[in-house]
Structure 1
Amino acid sequence: MATFLHRLGLGSFRHRWAVTIVWLLVFVGTGVGAATLSGTMATSFSIPGQESTTALDLIDERFGGGSGGTAQVVIAAPDGAKVSDPAVAAEITAYVQKLGALPGVESASNPLDPQRPTVAPDQSAAYSTVTYGTPAPEITAEQREALLDTVAEARDGGLNTEVSGEASMEPGSDIGGPAEAVGVVVALIVLAITYGSLVAAGMNLLTAIVGVGIGALGITTLSGFVDLQSTTPILAVMLGLAVGIDYTLFIVTRYRHELLHGRDPENATAMAVGTAGSAVVTAGITVVIALAGLAVAGIPFLTEMGIAAAATIVVAVLIAITLVPAVLGFMGRRALPRKLRAAGAVDPEEQGRPFYRGWANTVTRFRTLSLLAAVIVLGVVSIPFFSMQTTLIQPAQAGSTQERAQAMIAEKFGPGFSGPLVVLVDGANATARATAIAASFQALDGVSFATLGGARPDDAAALVTVIADSAPDSEETKQLVHTLRDRVDETGDEQIYVTGQTAVSVDVAEKLDEALPRYLVLVVGLALILLILVFRSLLVPVIGVLGFLLTIGSALGATTAVFQWGWLNALVNTDTEAPLLSLAPIIVIGILFGLAMDYQVFLVSRMHEAHAHGATPRDAVITGFKQAAPVVVAAATIMFAVFAGFVPEGNDTIKPIAFALAVGILFDAIIVRMIAVPAALSLLGHAAWWLPSWLRWLPTLDVEGAALERTVPPVTISELPETTPAPAPAEDSAPR
């Protein structure tokens, strides 16, 4: 692989104009495709074949009109009055008529209709269901704004009213906001400090943006042909930008190293791609496998998210090994700071090395204490993980009209009203069967009430509405869904289905919870195989995997404490305390697995190389650490900045995921890879690099390109171009 990448880097350098133009055409082409071929993205989650999803499809088929977006407008009577009072009732009726006449609205139910009243038991409030003719993602911004303005006007006019529901909330992704821009700026600053050159930093960031732009625009184009979740492009941008910057950083750092050790720009580029590029490709493959492995959950929308993000990673890797060397061909020695362009300049990687040598000396000298401290700290942070709860039902943004509407519904009607369960009774004599099952449900604990919700004129299907005593995202409601299904099973009627968005959430959450251990075993197994091939050792992979498990536990533990328990939630700009999104744990595990293995490979491979050259175990750890740690710290800082940028003002769905990734990167790079791993390797000594004889047939995966370095001779200073000669010392200045 190293030889192939060496040739690829050399070819990209020599044909830099062609390579650059091809990538620019790809970028423009995906932009045109996104502008002309994109479609709407889904904002709800479901799993084909689940009872709840099957029932929703049947409801849409039997009753029609079930695909339109809805909103719930809650109206509270003035203090001391009732909604049934003539004056209040007249005002509500007029208001509902106004809602029904809004652009795009198909109907607005009258809460005072004697046939189907939606009035609180104490007559203090009522709510109207506003139904649009199109699904929620297709409701235009103007239509949504008209609804919100009407609610605000009524509120200003003295009517206590709020609105909730998917039709009232803006769908789509939060890409390109100011917080994300701050993350990019931080990345630019870190790169500028690392390189000592703003030009090199800008080139690094620009190539990464091109890669992530192609990935995100390609996903947007694909949305016109495949149903994708609205969070898919956010996930791809967040991950693609982080790894794109880091992969370019690894190659450019090696390129600068080769320049300062005597190679001309052409050979330095080829060597950088052949050596650091090998590690980049290996790391990229690891991330791609982890993301594509999300398919093991057997959930189509999760598989699509994983494959889309994996495709963005593939683009980032291709950019790093083709476009980056082409751009280096334009830059030449200008990738170095001006003062280092002259031949014979000191390698800037040596700057700051004393700090990292001191770090490694301290960790390896007090190795037992260092290891225990790292494990205890991450273990304590992991404690909240064991009480983590997940759901697909996410709370409304704090302080919004949606939050106030949900609070009013819970107070006036009961917590279960915001997420009713719907029971479909399909087949002949549906009304009589529905009436019987409603009476049966009414007698169950946890049911506020169960009532007939409607029937087809030909009596071929009927609906039952079940309101729980508990909130939709509570454990009690989850248990109630299973209780209702058990009661249906007792009847032996196979044409009765329990559904509704609350039931869908329960089904998806349980499916994800079942898939999580299976997926964790998959990624841990992959980590062991990969690290055994890279380091030809058994104990080094075990240490790496155990460190990864600590990273996962601490990242999800911290996320649970902040978003579910409400600890320090002001730091992430949220006031909500609710279960985590069901998707979060499995996505976080997949991404952090790939990134943790990146750091393990880049850091420990240098230690392995030093040990292979005869260094003692402790000296090998120190030597490898001081060589690789500066780049790992810069890479982790950049990733932390990019992920953290999606937290303060981010999408409510993506915010906990971004937070978990940001703290996970911090814990993994600083505590696990730079404290726990060096300490553990020092404790194990020579045993760390032991490989049993029955495994020595395994191929060697040379991620550092050592074989290439042996076959490609170094270039001496005298072979540098005449434009940058080493200044000869004056005769009278020779040392005496």
Structure 2
Amino acid sequence: MIEAGLADVRGGTGGRAVSMLLYRLGGAIARHRGAFVGGWLLVLALVAGGATALGSDYDNEFTVPGTPSQEGKDLLDERFDITGTDGQVLFTVATGRIAQAPAAPVVNRISSRIDDVPGVTFTSPLAKNFRVVSSDGRAALGQLRFAAEKPSQATLDAVVDAASPPAGAGITTDVGGDAYDPDVETSRIPELLGLLVSLVILSITFGSLLAAGMPIVGSLLGVLTTISVIVLASSVTSVSSSASTLAEMLGLAVGIDYALFLLSRYRGHLAEGLPTTEAMRRSLATAGIAVMFAGATVVIALLGLAVARIPVLTAMGVAAAIAVAFAVSIALTLLPAVALLLGERLRPRRKARAGGAASAVVARRWVGIATRVPAVTIVVVLLAAVVAARPAADLDLALPDNSTAPESSNARQTYDAITAAFGEGYNAPLTVTGDVITSDDPKKTVNELAAAVAGVSGVVAVTQATPNADGDTALIQAIPEAGQTAPSTEALVQRLRDDSPGWEQTYGVHDILVTGQTAINIDVSARLGGAMLPFACIVIGLSLILLMLVFRSIAVPIKATAGYLISVGVAFGVVVVAFQWGWLSGLTGEEAGPVVSFLPIFLMGVLFGLAMDYEMFLVSSMREDYARTGDPRGAVVRGFCSSARVVTAAALIMTSVFVAFVPGGTSTIKPIAFGLAVGVLVDAFVVRMTLVPAVMVLLRHAAWWLPAWLERRLPDVDVEGAVLHRKVELDAWQDEHGQVAVLARGLVVTDGAAPVEITARPGEVVRLPLAAEADDRALAMVLTGRAGARAGSLAVAEQLLPEQREEVSRRAAALDLAATGHAAASDGTDRTASDVVRDRSRLAALTRRGRRAFTERSGQVAARLGSVAPGVDPTVVAQAACAVASGSHVLVLYGRPPAARDAGAELAFAAALANEGVTVVVLDRVGAERPADEGVRTSVRAGEEVR
């Protein structure tokens, strides 16, 4: 017998249940497993081949559309023809002065050689209009300008060769700057070690090396496909190299985890003795929904990075979202196909089952400790989280520059040498530009403006002041006291912008802008910092809505979101301690300094999705148990024990993958990978596996409360696959009691109405007596999927309502016995059912041939029905004939008023319909006596069938 809760047949989504769609997908994969594997291999071959042919064209430039710095840069590009990127050459003498003989002629010759390199413009440090010599006279700094945004390695090497001083000249040179930003060659060994650790964890979890290798191979395939797509995209749009690395890191982590979740459920069903195909169908309909939901949350959060309105960050989010999408797709299609190809080899052995029992014992002890005194657990966790998250209040954001480059690189060595000779500010020049087109003497106006800039507190020097060739735009280069990431430099940029309106009035200059790479980087950091709050609101709001849909609860979403904030706060705090304060410099290989600007927003987005993964797999098991038993504490314990093993393995795997990207990584990747590793560990073991059980036990029944009015309005996404469980129960009931066409238990259609019980076999007629005041039309609409009931359970044509309402509405039809058509045709003769069929077929959305066939089939059925029940209105006969011809399995007859009843004619009509292979349910509002024997089975009340 199928028993269902009140929510089973209420309103609902009106569409197909996701669980049943995935259930059918499992069947399709089973039938075409080879095609699914071949299709994925073909996709990989196409994108990888295209990526290999085109090659990568990454662009690491940070732009901030709509900011003053970006507007200034665009103006300089237009008015001064300043494109490409910058570099610097530092000349140093051990003795004497760089601007005097014998050093000066050598500097001039080297400057000429550098300027002769194709695609390079070099301004000598000893030029009259640009003389940059250190205070002790021993060093001079020249400026490189490359025509290309990303100069070729051959051009960069040619500049280094041209800058090499002749032997015995007594001069040393250092070449660096933005153009020489090093592309760090990261070692793949840590990543391989991370995958090896994942393989070990999976082997322990599954007890099978074959099963353990499947998530690894699947994630690698997904990452390879993703990287190939990103490489192709880099040929047509701006994509940074960091986007590729982040996509790889995230793709590996979630790819392994999603495959683990699905494969674990599949092997669990195999251990129960299910056939491989049925085990996979059920796994997709349960764990597959969780994978879809988890992946969707990560993708939405990553795409939400576009809120910062920074193209580079948006591209990073899109690239990572593509990686997650491929991971989900592979977990739902390729992995099942491969698993089904392997057949019985994935069925767990007794030894693996014993390992699962041992892990269940550990899980029970863990949850027992966490929930013994739940209030104490909550207080301890919250206090520890506050202490760990406290450093996050000191979070300082900036974009990396050459000060964070490896000490062995030319860029870092030049940076340090310039800092020693001139001061750190010379590595971070600011450019002030303005429109001087109205000036009678552009040169004088530019000099006056330069003098005003030099007088601003924090400006140590003005190294260049010149109008362009057309005399309409000023260019002034100012040197700050400190480097790009220093707070004093950010403050100086703001002071220059604050003073600009006054200068415009004083000197007649228009649209003064502060720009240059330093100002652009500062604006990027400022915009990212400003985007954190709206992004956090989006993520938190999304979390509350999605979890409310999933768990049908108020407390669970609030608790889950609060736990996510704890994980994010601790991750930020640990990153500040490790990278900004430099407490773990020996392990990270990074010097103390500001954290990369886009770490917070990226970390928040990724951790949101990962936190929801663990919340889903733990709490959904608790909710399922609670719905079955009504025991709040027991549901927490049993749900935890059933999910803890897979969540533990998933968290350890994801942590090992993230940690593998820390050693030898770039200054951009290291803190992100480190923060994600810490966040995953904290979220899985501290929040989800410790804090969550304690909170759930403390709340007891209140944890699952949802206002009735809200429950009716929220769509049922069936994330846990509840409709599949009902489908399995229906199949089991039919195996025991025989096939049914309509099965209703405790069905309440309207408030106050008596529950309805129906058991109708295929091809039989069932008469259901109703009270005279009963709403038979409302019941007919419910039975045919046109409306929802108040309570009870209902299956029609082997489809469950309300989740499969669309399918039921195609397989079932309601006929109003009181319906009437026109009394006569246009020629004055009586209209027949065939006449009505022809009229109705003209309105059908069919081809001409299809309409002709439909009309023919409907007419034949109408003729047979009309000959048996001549007293039934032709319109009703025509409707019934059209329903039968359309393939309806169930017909519900209603609507004959008591005064006009002809029970014999109705039963004859129903019998004729049954003879057409249709199950007929007659809703009788007059109470009913035993009908005459018409050769079909009838029922006068639920469970009492008569002939």
- Regarding TM over 0.5, the answer is yes
Residue 537 in 1 paired to residue 545 in 2? Answer: no
Give the letter for the 1:108 counterpart: F
Q: Is the 8 A contact 2:468 2:475 kept in 1?
A: no
The structure having more radius of gyration, on CA atoms, is 2
Q: Are residues 507 and 670 of structure 1, via their aligned partners in 2, closer, same or farther at CA, if it must alter by over 3 Å?
A: same
Residue 63 in 1 paired to residue 63 in 2? Answer: no
Alignment correspondent of 2:420: 411
Please state which structure has a larger fraction of its residues in strand: 2
Alignment correspondent of 2:694: 679
Alignment correspondent of 2:134: 120
Q: 1:701 aligns with which of 698, 710, 717?
A: 717
The aligned length equals 706
Please state which structure has a larger fraction of its residues in helix: 1
Q: State the secondary structure of the residue aligned to 1:422.
A: strand
Residue 610 in 1 paired to residue 618 in 2? Answer: no
Alignment correspondent of 1:110: 124
1:302-451 matches, within 5 Å, as 302-336=313-347, 346=353, 348-394=355-401, 395-400=403-408, 401-428=410-437, 429=439, 430-450=442-462
Q: Are residues 607 and 98 of structure 1, via their aligned partners in 2, closer, same or farther at CA, if it must alter by over 3 Å?
A: same
Worse overlay, 465-474 or 173-182:
173-182
Structure-2 separation of matches of 1:295 and 1:43? 17
Q: Are residues 386 and 346 of structure 1, via their aligned partners in 2, closer, same or farther at CA, if it must alter by over 3 Å?
A: closer
Q: Are residues 127 and 55 of structure 1, via their aligned partners in 2, closer, same or farther at CA, if it must alter by over 3 Å?
A: same
How many Å apart are 1:147 and its aligned residue? 5.1
Worse overlay, 330-339 or 240-249:
330-339
Q: State the secondary structure of the residue aligned to 1:373.
A: helix
Q: Are residues 552 and 352 of structure 1, via their aligned partners in 2, closer, same or farther at CA, if it must alter by over 3 Å?
A: same
For each residue in 1:523-555, what CA deviation from the matched residue of structure 2 results, as whole angstroms up to 9, or x when unmatched? 001111111111111111111111111111110
How many Å apart are 1:188 and its aligned residue? 1.7
1:14-33 matches, within 5 Å, as 14-33=31-50
Q: Are residues 23 and 212 of structure 1, via their aligned partners in 2, closer, same or farther at CA, if it must alter by over 3 Å?
A: same
Q: Is the 8 A contact 1:295 1:302 kept in 2?
A: yes
How many Å apart are 1:323 and its aligned residue? 0.6
Structure-2 separation of matches of 1:469 and 1:573? 27
Structure-2 separation of matches of 1:209 and 1:390? 33
TM-score by length of structure 2 reads: 0.71
Q: State the secondary structure of the residue aligned to 1:712.
A: helix
Of all paired residues, the percent bearing the same amino acid is 38
How many Å apart are 1:333 and its aligned residue? 2.0
Q: Is the 8 A contact 2:113 2:163 kept in 1?
A: no
Q: State the secondary structure of the residue aligned to 1:72.
A: strand
Worse overlay, 221-230 or 148-157:
148-157
How many Å apart are 1:701 and its aligned residue? 3.2
For each residue in 1:603-632, what CA deviation from the matched residue of structure 2 results, as whole angstroms up to 9, or x when unmatched? 111111111122532221111111111111
Structure-2 separation of matches of 1:178 and 1:587? 25
Worse overlay, 687-696 or 558-567:
687-696
Alignment correspondent of 1:724: none
Alignment correspondent of 1:527: 543
Alignment correspondent of 2:58: 41
Alignment correspondent of 1:253: 264
Q: Are residues 381 and 38 of structure 1, via their aligned partners in 2, closer, same or farther at CA, if it must alter by over 3 Å?
A: same
Structure-1 separation of matches of 2:384 and 2:645? 23
Give the letter for the 2:25 counterpart: L
How many Å apart are 1:157 and its aligned residue? 9.1
Give the letter for the 1:366 counterpart: V
Structure-2 separation of matches of 1:406 and 1:504? 19
Q: Are residues 715 and 266 of structure 1, via their aligned partners in 2, closer, same or farther at CA, if it must alter by over 3 Å?
A: farther
Alignment correspondent of 1:732: none
Q: State the secondary structure of the residue aligned to 1:74.
A: strand
Alignment correspondent of 2:515: 499
Worse overlay, 473-482 or 392-401:
392-401
Structure-1 separation of matches of 2:627 and 2:163? 72
Q: Are residues 232 and 417 of structure 1, via their aligned partners in 2, closer, same or farther at CA, if it must alter by over 3 Å?
A: same
Worse overlay, 634-643 or 370-379:
370-379
Q: CA RMSD in A?
A: 2.4
Structure-1 separation of matches of 2:378 and 2:521? 41
Q: Is the 8 A contact 1:105 1:130 kept in 2?
A: no
Structure-2 separation of matches of 1:193 and 1:279? 23
Q: Is the 8 A contact 1:242 1:639 kept in 2?
A: yes
How many Å apart are 1:368 and its aligned residue? 2.2
Q: State the secondary structure of the residue aligned to 2:314.
A: helix
Q: State the secondary structure of the residue aligned to 1:448.
A: strand
Residue 566 in 1 paired to residue 577 in 2? Answer: no
Worse overlay, 439-448 or 625-634:
439-448
Alignment correspondent of 1:9: 26
Q: Is the 8 A contact 1:14 1:326 kept in 2?
A: no
Structure-2 separation of matches of 1:155 and 1:186? 53
Give the letter for the 1:373 counterpart: V
Q: 2:528 aligns with which of 499, 512, 517?
A: 512
Q: Is the 8 A contact 1:291 1:306 kept in 2?
A: yes
Alignment correspondent of 1:129: 143
Q: 1:262 aligns with which of 267, 273, 280?
A: 273
Structure-2 separation of matches of 1:112 and 1:244? 58
**Unpaired runs of at least 5, structure 2:** 1-17, 736-947
Q: Is the 8 A contact 1:13 1:328 kept in 2?
A: no
Structure-2 separation of matches of 1:693 and 1:563? 49
Q: Are residues 452 and 147 of structure 1, via their aligned partners in 2, closer, same or farther at CA, if it must alter by over 3 Å?
A: closer
Alignment correspondent of 2:937: none
Give the letter for the 1:243 counterpart: V
Q: Which has the higher contact order (CA 8 A, sep 6+)?
A: 1
Q: Is the 8 A contact 2:182 2:405 kept in 1?
A: no
Q: Is the 8 A contact 2:111 2:163 kept in 1?
A: no
Give the letter for the 1:139 counterpart: S
Structure-2 separation of matches of 1:146 and 1:46? 28
Q: Is the 8 A contact 1:125 1:412 kept in 2?
A: yes
Worse overlay, 593-602 or 35-44:
35-44
For each residue in 1:267-315, what CA deviation from the matched residue of structure 2 results, as whole angstroms up to 9, or x when unmatched? 1111111111011001111111111112222333322222222122112
Give the letter for the 2:721 counterpart: G
Q: Is the 8 A contact 1:139 1:167 kept in 2?
A: no
How many Å apart are 1:355 and its aligned residue? 0.5
Q: 2:224 aligns with which of 205, 213, 229?
A: 213
Alignment correspondent of 2:639: 624
Give the letter for the 1:644 counterpart: V
Structure-2 separation of matches of 1:165 and 1:714? 71
Structure-2 separation of matches of 1:203 and 1:88? 66
Give the letter for the 1:474 counterpart: A
Q: Are residues 315 and 457 of structure 1, via their aligned partners in 2, closer, same or farther at CA, if it must alter by over 3 Å?
A: same
Structure-1 separation of matches of 2:488 and 2:372? 53
How many Å apart are 1:128 and its aligned residue? 2.6
Alignment correspondent of 1:730: none
Q: State the secondary structure of the residue aligned to 1:351.
A: helix
Q: 2:562 aligns with which of 523, 528, 546?
A: 546
Give the letter for the 1:251 counterpart: L
Q: State the secondary structure of the residue aligned to 1:598.
A: helix
How many Å apart are 1:409 and its aligned residue? 1.7
1:481-496 matches, within 5 Å, as 481-490=493-502, 491-492=504-505, 493-496=509-512
How many Å apart are 1:95 and its aligned residue? 4.1
Structure-1 separation of matches of 2:675 and 2:606? 10
Q: Are residues 548 and 154 of structure 1, via their aligned partners in 2, closer, same or farther at CA, if it must alter by over 3 Å?
A: farther
Q: 1:139 aligns with which of 146, 152, 172?
A: 152
Q: State the secondary structure of the residue aligned to 2:98.
A: coil
